[in-house]
Chains A and B, each alone.
Chain A
Amino acid sequence: MSKNSVSPATRLPSGWDERYDVLVVGGGNAALCAAITARNAGSKVLVLEGAPKFYRGGNTRHTRNLRCAHDEANEVLTGPYSEDEFWDDLMRVTGGQTNEELARHTISESRELWDWMNEQGVRFQPPLGGTLSLGRTNAFFLGGGRAMLNALYLRAEKLGVDIVYDAMVTDLEIEDGHFNSATVEVDGTSHTIRAATLVTAAGGFEANIDWLKEYWGERAGNFLIRGTPYNKGSILRLLLDRGVEPVGDPTQCHAVAIDARSPQFDGGIVTRLDCVIFGVVVNNECVRFYDEGEDFWPKRYAIWGRLVADQPDQTAYIIIDSKAISLVMPSVYPAIEAGSIGELAGKLGLSAERLEATVADYNASVQPGDFDPNTLDDCHTEGLEPPKTHWARTIDEPPFYGYPVRPGITFTYLGTRVDKQARILMTDGKPSANMYAAGEIMAGNVLGKGYIAGIGMTIGAVFGRIAGREAAKHARN
């Protein structure tokens, strides 16, 4: 085992008992952007990351890119991406569930991110073949989100930001919207940290199954969590319990259909499957339940988690044949392969008779057309309920392949309401004097529902920098 991959014995920084200017709770993109910005403004900064060193950074470690508006192409972005176009993209996925002032501010500030990240040592990769569809709008981190985090941590350490891992904040002392101190447990010992300002950047509650059950019922027990098991939402809970105004639909979460064989936590990017549009999807009664060909993956990718969550046992099966297998991304778990639909049903634990009937019905309804995976083609079904409106081809060429899928939760939408200065708003509508929020914990202000690639990183970085700047300014006064 690597000496790097396990947390070092937690060492408390010297000056631990002193008062900090800025206390950052959380350790992902938003937290580090806040810490670096505040430190650069001259503040004494402490970062408390609840996870061990390897798992630092919450969902950021599984991300890959950053969406940013820009006027012209550069080394990593292929073309102009105007603020208006960014706004249109956001409106399309949120259906208007966004705070326009904050959203437009985020988009406008996103223009600076690429340069700023570069200055911190974050490296980006030139657009490669397979990522061209996003190469115009999104800057890709070289090596992925963990590489980006490593760069930000190196930068923060170099600047003299104090960082403690395995540091669980268990209480926040808040008086009339004013933060006084935090209680943190490190190595089984409780400490009280006093700070002039508090930046909360501690993510959502997607890894808190009990909390998810409040909205989803018992079926949440069958959900797979794509990020770290440390995103329990404990800071969000503390804030909401102490008079902070919530934002976002608590029942909403980003749920995609992922391989059912994935680990319950932290499967990350490799558990995704992109083959839905090339086959049929059935539940464990071998019944189809949605139009698999409605739109492109990844545009419709995020609806399948919710769809599967509504099926018995929160499980479904994607069925394709040999025509489709070479069109899909290689998957981390091999497709289950069989010489006939009946045999495949047996291997998947389904009724052979019913699956054969479902596939036969589907095959009989497929109309002739010109198959083209790159456009919304004219291959569709007729007389089938639900229909398959594009890429409908008969499933009849062995070997046949099946993937079991389950809902995979990426993040939650419930968060803390903030203003343009990243100040947390209290239930009485007034901004907190010295509490700020950045990242997933407040992303619901901008992203009320839906998702576009890379926007989580954008919101986190923009509001992280604002929170760091404002907190430092407040601490100085």
Chain B
Amino acid sequence: MHATDALAEADRQMTICNACRYCEGLCAVFPAMEKHRTFADGDLNYLANLCHSCGACYQDCQFSTPHEFAVDVPRTLAKVRNDSYKTYAWPGFLAGLFDRNGLAISIVAALGVAAFILGFIAFNDADQLFAVHQGEGAFYRLMPHNAMIILFGAAFAYAILALCMGCRAFWRDSNAVNAVIGDGRVSIWQAMKDASTLRYLDGGGVGCINEDERPTDNRRLYHHLTFYGFLLCFGATSMGTIYHYVFGWQAPYPWWDIPPMLGKVGGVGLVIGTVGLLAAKWRRDPALVDESKRGMDTAFLVMLFLTAATGLALHGLRSTPAMGMMLAIHLGVVFSLFLTMPYGKFVHGIYRFAALTRYAMSNRHGFAKPGASSSDS
């Protein structure tokens, strides 16, 4: 009756959790679960995307392995969550990219970088690539601004479209049991607060379970650095676009100006955050991780790291003959990041936000939960 073995296993475990309910104070997954008596695939995908994988419930569970019930919600929901990206991918025929995500991203990134280098050479000549370009409009002597806008605008627009279509499918499916209509604004605001603070990555207050039973808050810190670093870099690009079109000021800008400052701070945050998350992933208790999809997480983090690292390198080397090559590499990486966004770990943020919104909505509507939680008797 479930589409996959992972969903059937999630159903089995959620049924045990729903009869126990000791974890209901830890995060949103359990109160959301309590609103159900049975679990359709869409419900499980919703719960899986609500899970931040902090691991607290695993450490607190009296039924985790070696108990015969073998409950391991973080790992089980990680599997379901990773599968759900594929389930809702748009267009459907590209869903397979998730399976070989690490490889796909490496190939796309390598091709993207190569294409930009070759494109620069073809557009100018090889000497130009290694010449020193300085002053306003230096970047555009290698690649005209309009060409950049068309290429990146198209890649970005495609990513947004594909992400929206996937999210739409997820949203509809997660409403399979309790459809909620209207009342979006307040719930979205609540979800923004929950997502921006990573409210549910705190293990109920003490931090994440990582390598052992001693909780730490490192993953939340690194995730914050990554997420806000990404936003700052995105802000730098947006600011640059405004400078260009509104004020007619051409990049590169002086080091102290807003776009380079945002880019530098964001880039440093991204570098530290992604390295920290990669290290945490490496050390994490395998019982909490969906090992089969580790490549997808790693590939995404590496892409973010490369985006930041090449951006910082470009900034540092922009007055040297290496500028042309760094620009080509950086643009190639960013272009590949855009293209692969809808088919990699990036989508976790989108679906998690949708799930948090859906949770805020259902909370506000106060669905009755079946049965009352009981004492310890």
Contact = CB atoms under 8 A, between A and B. Distances in A.
Given A125-B24, A128-B373, A1 B62 contact: no
A331 B376 contact: no
B20 interface: yes
A270 B63 contact: yes
Interface in B191-210: 204-206
Given A1-B65, A123-B205, A410 B22 contact: no
A62 B375 contact: no
Interface residues of A, number: 58
Nearest to A140: B25
Interface in A98-135: 123, 125-126, 128-131, 133-134
Nearest to B56: A143
B168 interface: no
Given A128-B24, A263-B68, A326-B37, A134 B285 contact: no
A154 interface: yes
Contacts of A140: 25
B371 to A, nearest CB: 3
Given A128-B24, A150-B60, A330 B213 contact: no
Contacts, number: 161
Interface string B174-188: 000000000000000
Given A143-B204, A150-B213, A330 B15 contact: yes
Contacts of A147: 22, 56, 59-60, 204
B143 to A, nearest CB: 51
A145 B287 CA distance: 21
B369 interface: yes
Contacts of B23: 143-144
A62 B376 contact: yes
B328 interface: no
Contacts of A130: 21, 24, 34, 369, 371-373
A332 B15 contact: yes
Contacts of B288: 2
B19 interface: yes
Which of B25, B56, B64 has the most C-beta atoms of chain A within 10 angstroms of its own C-beta? B25
A274 B374 contact: yes
Contact of A123 (B57, B204, B373, B374): B204
Which of A131, A147, A150 counts the most B-chain CB atoms under 10 A from its CB?
Answer: A147
Interface in A237-284: 254, 256, 263, 266, 268-270, 272, 274
A143 B37 contact: no
A328 B371 contact: yes
A298 B371 CA distance: 13
Interface in B264-286: 285-286
Contacts of B61: 146
B377 interface: yes
Interface in A308-345: 326-332, 334
Given A146-B61, A270-B63, A64 B22 contact: yes
Nearest to B20: A270
Given A140-B25, A263-B68, A298 B377 contact: yes
Contacts of B58: 2
Contacts of B37: 326, 330
Given A5-B287, A54-B67, 8 more contacts: A2-B286, A4-B213, A5-B66, A123-B206, A130-B372, A269-B20, A270-B16, A329-B19
Instruction: Across the A-B interface, give the 7 residue pairs with the lowest CB-CB distance, nearest first.
Output: A144-B22, A125-B25, A2-B287, A329-B371, A453-B375, A143-B60, A130-B373
